Amino acid sequence: MKVQEVIMKAMAKRITWWEAAEILGIDVRTMRRWKGRLKRDGYTGLFDRRRHPSPKRIPVEQAERVLGLYQEKYSDFNVRHFHEKLSSEHGIQISYTWVKKALQAAGLVRTARRRGPYRKRRPRRPLPGMMLHIDASRHQWFSDERWHDLIVVLDDATSEIYYAQLVAEESTRTVMAAFRSVVEKKGWFSSVYSDRASHFFRTPKAGQPVDTREVTEVGRAMKELGIRMIPAYSPQARGRSERSFGTWQGRLPQELRLKNIRTPAAANAFLNDHYIREFNSQFKVPAAETGTAFAPIHRRDLDRVFAIQQERVVDNDNTIQFANHVWQIPPTPFRATLAGCRVIVYEHLDGTFSVGYGPHTVGRFTAAGDPIESPRPRRGRTPVPRPVSRRLPPSTPPRYALRASPGLRSGRQPSGNQKAETNKKQRKETSRS
Would you call 116 exposed, middle or buried from its count of C-beta atoms within 10 A (0-12, 13-18, 19+)? exposed
Sequence-ordered list of residues with C-beta below 8 angstroms from that of 48, at least 6 positions apart, any chain: none
Give residue-wise pLDDT tens across range 202-236: 988 877 888 888 899 999 999 999 999 999 888 77
- Give the pLDDT score at 1: 52
H or E element that contains 29: helix 28-41
> Which residues in the chain land under pLDDT 70?
1, 41-56, 114-119, 374-433
> Looking at the DSSP assignment, which residues form a beta bridge with residue 113?
none
Per-residue pLDDT, 410: 44
pLDDT tens for 158-201 read 999 999 999 999 999 999 999 999 999 999 999 999 999 999 99
C-alpha to C-alpha distance for 286 and 158, rounded to whole angstroms: 6
pLDDT score at 400: 44
* Most distant pair of Cα atoms in the chain: their distance: 170
Q: Is 106 helix (H, G, I), strand (E, B) or coil?
A: coil
